Chains A and B, each alone.
Chain A
Amino acid sequence: MNFSEVGLLALAVYVGILLCVGEIANRSRRNLSPGDHFLGGRELGVFVLFLTLYATAYSGNSLLGYPGKAYRVGFSFIMATGFMMAIIVVFHILVPRLRPAAIQRGYVTPGDFVRDRFGGQPGGRALVLAVAVLMALALANFLLAQLKAMGEVASLVTGDLIPYSWGVVGLAAMILFYETRGGMRAVAWTDAAQGILMAVGLITLLGWLLSGSGGMEAVTLEVARVRPEAVAVPDAMGCANWLSTILLLGLASVIYPQAIQRIYAARTGRALSQSFAWMTFMPLLTTLVVTLIGIAAIPRLDLAAGAATDGVMPVLLREWAQQGTLGQAAAILVFIGALSAIMSTADSCLLSLGSLLVRDLLGQTGETAAQTRMGKLLAAAVLIAIIPLALERDLTLWRLIELKMELLIQCVPAFLMGIHWVRQSAFATLAGLLVGTAFAVGLTLMGTPQWGGVHVGVIGLGLNIAVVVALSIGERQGIPGDTPLEELA
């Protein structure tokens, strides 16, 4: 059997296992309520919670987009390790206060918090809707990136036995099936297995690359010879971009709807803090590894610029597989690990999207089975609508990540400030969100994604916060009994 046929067989076995897990999870459910379907009955313990957080955070973007970006820009993309770690740092601002509220008030979606915090104020309902729209767009974008990545991996590793478009459509259908059947339980259980596969596969691949190239120093010197700009120290604008990227991804990723829902889904607060204590090391084992893989590919591969560079990882896998039976088996392991990472993120996005559409956009709170069914249907409709976009292959995964984050980061004041600052009003938060979003989207549409290396989304967030603070203080002046800004815990 050649690599393509082995890859196809492995893919079939893997998909079969996923479908079985979905069915087992379906039989394990307690009821049809949104809390049970979308949050797994809030029963995730440390081990499964850690692995589902890990598999969800590291996605097609990490496995294909990050090596592609590292291949394009070189060593300065080491910043990726920093921003992935920043997410777990920024969670300190949100989690200790959000978690007790989620349990005591029964939140299912991020919008439940916004409704609880701001819903009773003028502009509160509009704010809930605005946050839901931004989050739904970000999730749809994220889902789109995963579908593209699934198609790429399936096509490249099976040597086009499964063409790109079939990969997108077929794997999307698989996800829809097991996610709809098993909900969060199916997603979390498959994530756990997928997380282990991904970590083992990546570290093995890096080991092969470095051993075959004479070690890290030899790789660095070869990269410096082939492409000197890839080892150059970033200039002032590059450093500003480094900081801006850490802020953009560190802040925006914290309010990923699927991440927030895992905060709600943990069995206990202690399980959550222990999972985060482990999660903080994962950028070193994953992001750093994929970055070094992308850099090590610079002297080995000569890929065209643009979206083609997202194929760095699959092309390396094919090269590895040609080294003999052992290489072929290891490459298949990494291939399944990569596909696992992509599918685990896609299923989490789809699950979050369903709950977010039905509760936050349509405003259906409560715990009815009809609500769960509606969420599943809406998620399926969005998935089907996105597939034609995923068949367009020209946009790089990294650019999709940036676009999503520039929208999502505008929700930061509603969550990270709103949970601490008593005086923050719904109207001010809505005004800030609209100003920040208009600024970021406007400049992006005009072809200016950055100013002096700083993302327009980050500048938009600065404007957003300024508006929130100014209007909240102005609005509340003269009201007796107000308390000042609470300290950040």
Chain B
Amino acid sequence: MPEARGNGKPGRTRRVGLRPVLLALIAVLYAISIPWYRGDDQELRLLLGLPDWVAVAILCYALVAVLNSVVWMRTPIDDDAPLSRALTADARGTGARGAVRSTPDPGESTP
């Protein structure tokens, strides 16, 4: 994972391992949230005042929210991080591309 490169701190190493696991868990919860497992001919069963398959879906999404929040808190976004190779290396071998940024027009940039 890019955020772990060049960082030997043990805490960071543990984070790197957890993030993909949590993302995989989120994918599993999404699969469970869809009522594939229920026949469409079955009678109404209530759970928490809702049809049971609806309650299961909501519980899955609540868990997704918690896990996803944890993943975001463990995703440090460094503005100075090295850029993706897709942006720095030209696949045709012509080197780095030019930056988009250009100089502001000094004459017009004041209110």
- Is A82 touching B46 in the complex (CB atoms < 8 A)? no
- Is A97 touching B97 in the complex (CB atoms < 8 A)? no
- Is B85 touching A486 in the complex (CB atoms < 8 A)? yes
Is there a chain A Cβ closer than 8 Å to B17's Cβ? no
Q: State the CA gap A106–B98 with chains docked (Å).
A: 11
Q: State the CA gap A489–B50 with chains docked (Å).
A: 38
Contact of A32 with B108 at beta-carbon distance under 8 Å, contacts A120-B90, A276-B72 already known: yes
What does the 1/0 interface line of B97-111 toward A look like (CB < 8 Å)? 111111111001111
- Is A101 touching B49 in the complex (CB atoms < 8 A)? no
Closest approach, in angstroms, between the C-beta of A127 and any C-beta of chain B? 14
- Is B1 touching A489 in the complex (CB atoms < 8 A)? yes
Q: State the CA gap A119–B99 with chains docked (Å).
A: 11
Closest approach, in angstroms, between the C-beta of B12 and any C-beta of chain A? 14
Q: State the CA gap A287–B85 with chains docked (Å).
A: 37
Q: State the CA gap A489–B4 with chains docked (Å).
A: 11
Closest approach, in angstroms, between the C-beta of A204 and any C-beta of chain B? 20
What are the residues of chain A within 8 A of B89 when measuring CB–CB? 422, 483
Is there a chain B Cβ closer than 8 Å to A216's Cβ? yes
Q: State the CA gap A366–B105 with chains docked (Å).
A: 8
Closest approach, in angstroms, between the C-beta of A241 and any C-beta of chain B? 10
Closest approach, in angstroms, between the C-beta of B8 and any C-beta of chain A? 19
Contact of A92 with B23 at beta-carbon distance under 8 Å, contacts A82-B57, A220-B49, A239-B35 already known: yes
Closest approach, in angstroms, between the C-beta of A200 and any C-beta of chain B? 20
Q: Which of A75, A120, A288, A420 contacts B84 (CB 8 A)?
A: A420
- Is B50 touching A216 in the complex (CB atoms < 8 A)? yes
A-B contacts besides A79-B34, A424-B91, 6 pairs, CB < 8 Å = A85-B64, A97-B2, A104-B79, A278-B69, A280-B69, A284-B62
- Is B85 touching A483 in the complex (CB atoms < 8 A)? yes
Q: Which of A95, A243, A480 contacts B34 (CB 8 A)?
A: A243
The 7 closest A-B pairs by CB, nearest first: A106-B101, A269-B77, A216-B49, A369-B108, A217-B49, A367-B104, A277-B72
Is there a chain B Cβ closer than 8 Å to A325's Cβ? no
- Is A85 touching B65 in the complex (CB atoms < 8 A)? yes
Is there a chain A Cβ closer than 8 Å to B7's Cβ? no
The number of residues on chain B lying at the interface, defined by a beta carbon within 8 Å of a beta carbon of chain A, is: 67
- Is B94 touching A280 in the complex (CB atoms < 8 A)? no
Interface residues of B in 56-97 (CB under 8 A from A): 57-58, 60-62, 64-65, 68-73, 75-87, 89-94, 97
Q: Which of A31, A104, A482 contacts B91 (CB 8 A)?
A: A482
Is there a chain B Cβ closer than 8 Å to A452's Cβ? no
A–B pairs, 19, beta carbons within 8 Å: A75-B54, A89-B23, A92-B71, A105-B100, A106-B101, A116-B87, A117-B86, A117-B87, A219-B49, A220-B44, A234-B40, A239-B36, A274-B72, A277-B68, A281-B65, A281-B69, A283-B65, A366-B102, A368-B105
Closest approach, in angstroms, between the C-beta of B49 and any C-beta of chain A? 3
- Is A101 touching B61 in the complex (CB atoms < 8 A)? no
Interface residues of A in 157-193 (CB under 8 A from B): none
Find the B residue at minimum CB distance from A77.
Answer: B54
Contact of A233 with B38 at beta-carbon distance under 8 Å, contacts A92-B71, A368-B104 already known: yes
Closest approach, in angstroms, between the C-beta of A372 and any C-beta of chain B? 9
Q: State the CA gap A221–B44 with chains docked (Å).
A: 9
Q: State the CA gap A367–B28 with chains docked (Å).
A: 45
> What size tier do the contact residues of chain A reach?
35 or more
Is there a chain B Cβ closer than 8 Å to A455's Cβ? no
Chain A: interface secondary structure? helix
Q: State the CA gap A104–B65 with chains docked (Å).
A: 31
Q: State the CA gap A216–B94 with chains docked (Å).
A: 63
Q: State the CA gap A217–B38 with chains docked (Å).
A: 20
Is there a chain B Cβ closer than 8 Å to A376's Cβ? no
Is there a chain B Cβ closer than 8 Å to A268's Cβ? yes
Find the A residue at minimum CB distance from B70.
Answer: A277
Find the B residue at minimum CB distance from A232.
Answer: B40
Is there a chain B Cβ closer than 8 Å to A242's Cβ? yes
Closest approach, in angstroms, between the C-beta of A78 and any C-beta of chain B? 5
Find the B residue at minimum CB distance from A281.
Answer: B65
Is there a chain B Cβ closer than 8 Å to A270's Cβ? yes
What are the residues of chain A within 8 A of B3 when measuring CB–CB? 96
Closest approach, in angstroms, between the C-beta of B97 and any C-beta of chain A? 5
Closest approach, in angstroms, between the C-beta of A223 and any C-beta of chain B? 9
What are the residues of chain B within 8 A of A125 when measuring CB–CB? none
- Is B111 touching A32 in the complex (CB atoms < 8 A)? yes
- Is A242 touching B1 in the complex (CB atoms < 8 A)? no
Most chain A CB inside 10 Å of its own CB: which residue of B23, B51, B99: B51
- Is A116 touching B77 in the complex (CB atoms < 8 A)? no
Interface residues of B in 2-58 (CB under 8 A from A): 2-3, 23, 26, 30, 33-36, 38-40, 42, 44, 46, 48-51, 53-54, 57-58
Q: State the CA gap A217–B54 with chains docked (Å).
A: 12
